[in-house]
Amino acid sequence: MTTNGPGPTTIRRRIRLLLRQLRADRGHSQEDVCRVMAWSQSKMARIERGTTNIPVRDLRDLLEFYEIDDADEVRRLLDLAKLARRPHWAGAYRDSVPAPYMDFLGYEDDALRISQYHPFVIPGLLQTEQYARLLVAVGPRRRDGDDEAEARVRLRLARQRRVFAQPPRPGRVRIVLDERALTVVESDQVKLDQIEMILSRLPDIDFALLRRDTATDSVLVGPFSLHEFGSEADPDVVYVASQPEDVALIEDPEVVAGYKRAFDDLYHQAASGDEARHILDTIATSLRGTSA
């Protein structure tokens, strides 16, 4: 996790998981809580989904209803509620991307390990600015206007700077890429710049490349990002993606475990280390000749 401790997204999830567990342990339904607390059902649902922060006063009253009388535990939870209200580092871009993507960025910050697979395009952490602009220009959100498109590109670059601000811990960022994703754009110069970008990041990431002749079924898996936290308080999550900012959260432990197995299978099929670098160098050399 970040050196300053978990961010507001992770803390908000801790709170909602704790509150759901407390309610279940005491045998209350959401309707029971709403009746006693004089809350609407929608408010209760938003709190337990983590889509809104619970006010400190409401949390204090709820803990009293749940008969949490340990002063240290109450103080700890109230402190968490205050920390959850800290601003998101990407808050300036909130209106330009879907809300689930903002949470995705928060979990990415705090994850001990990030494992990503993409069969179609270069993942956002490895995209050049030109490649990112191309994806935004052809994506389904292209009609949002130039300002919104520019904001999404800036956010993608800011995300890269944040993740790679310091040399990541060995193995923290693992990326498996299908070789076909390297050549989907038309411009040879864009492809060359993109491959050189990946080559420049190899010291910072654990990168593996699925060869065309071994990746026949890999596209059926679909792109996903696995965030592992190494903590019982913060269960691992998976985000599946259709577009770079269109993501859906998966928290079911059995499903998350299935994605872990899928990533391991893909990684072991792929070329990594010096072999992956050699493949990238070979493609780059070919593209340099074409560009010349």
Please report whether residue 270 resides in a domain.
yes
Q: What is the pLDDT tens value at each position of the chain, 292 positions in all? A: 555 679 999 999 999 999 999 999 999 999 999 999 999 999 999 999 888 899 999 999 999 999 999 999 999 999 999 999 999 999 999 999 998 999 999 999 999 999 999 988 999 999 999 999 998 888 665 556 688 889 999 999 999 999 998 766 778 999 999 998 998 888 999 999 999 999 999 999 999 999 877 655 655 678 999 999 999 999 999 999 877 678 899 999 999 999 999 999 999 999 999 999 999 999 999 998 876 5
**What single letter denotes the amino acid at residue 278?**
H
Taking alpha carbons only, the member of 145, 108, 111 closest to residue 244 is 108
Tokens 């998966």 belong to 250
- 23 in the same domain as 57: yes
SS3 letters for 178-243? EHHHHHCCCCHHHHHHHHHHHHHHCCCCEEEEECCCCCCCHHHCCCEEEEECCECCECCEEEEEEE
Q: Is residue 287 part of a domain?
A: yes
Sign of CA dihedral 10, 11, 14, 16: negative
Task: Specify whether 133 is located in the same domain as 166.
Answer: yes
- Domain interval for residue 24: 8-83
Report how many domains make up the chain: 2
For residue 35, give the CATH number of its domain: 1.10.260.40
Report pTM.
0.90
Please tell me whether residues 142 and 232 are part of one structural domain.
Answer: yes
Among 25, 56, 83, give the residue marking a domain's end: 83
Three-class SS of residue 106? Answer: helix
Inside any domain, residue 26: yes
